[in-house]
Chains A and B, each alone.
Chain A
Amino acid sequence: DGGITQSPKYLFRKEGQNVTLSCEQNLNHDAMYWYRQDPGQGLRLIYYSQIVNDFQKGDIAEGYSVSREKKESFPLTVTSAQKNPTAFYLCASSIFQGVGTEAFFGQGTRLTVV
């Protein structure tokens, strides 16, 4: 079955360490996205990519980095420069610019930095 997979579901890291969150899709989707959610808040866009080897900053890109070396993978690295990394992170994917086409959403990763 086609889908989008985020792993792990829960992740703990020590302050000052970089951590990479995984997002993989086997839907042949062009576009992939990373969002962050803080308690009681909506999801905000960190980075998105519409094509391999290209990506754009979203609204809150500072302290994060991404790569898109393969169509099916869009890993997000939370760097030590991110001041408040503890949050829920959601990955999504879609066909680029398809009217009425469905976006798919990962289950999310809850990152806790101690």
Chain B
Amino acid sequence: KNEVEQSPQNLTAQEGEFITINCSYSVGISALHWLQQHPGGGIVSLFMLSSGKKKHGRLIATINIQEKHSSLHITASHPRDSAVYICAARGNRDDKIIFGKGTRLHILP
């Protein structure tokens, strides 16, 4: 079992829908990252969380440390949001960064 699990693996939605991507982890962490990967492969860092909630534009990320769970939400989704979203947890013992397998999001116009 991967130490960082994401769900769903694939998600197709209509433009305008509210999107939720989930990330569960089994290790103690010092920080959790949400990344966006576009079809060409380039990685963009969206959020770093160690507690609570962060918002940037239409993106919201939350983390519940006790439940070892984080969510990434996209409000008013748009076709340009289509990408792979990756959760990455940084272990608090060895500092390794462990990645989830990603969620492939496709927003239809």
Interfacial residues, chain A to chain B (CB-CB below 8 A): 9, 31, 33, 35, 37, 41-45, 48, 50, 58, 88, 90, 92, 94, 96-108, 110
Contacts and interface: CB of A to CB of B under 8 A. Distances in A.
A92 B97 contact: yes
A108 B43 contact: yes
The interface size bin for chain B is 20 to 34
Contacts, number: 68
A96 B45 CA distance: 19
The residue among B35, B88, B95, B101 with the most chain A CB atoms within 10 A of its own CB is B95
Nearest to A93: B97
Contacts of B33: 102-103, 105
A89 B48 CA distance: 21
A42 B92 contact: no
Contact of A48 (B30, B31, B50, B96): B96
A88 B41 contact: yes
Nearest to B87: A42
A103 B92 contact: no
Nearest to B99: A43
Nearest to B102: A42
B41 A42 contact: no
Interface string B83-99: 00010101010011111
Interface string B13-32: 00000000000000000110
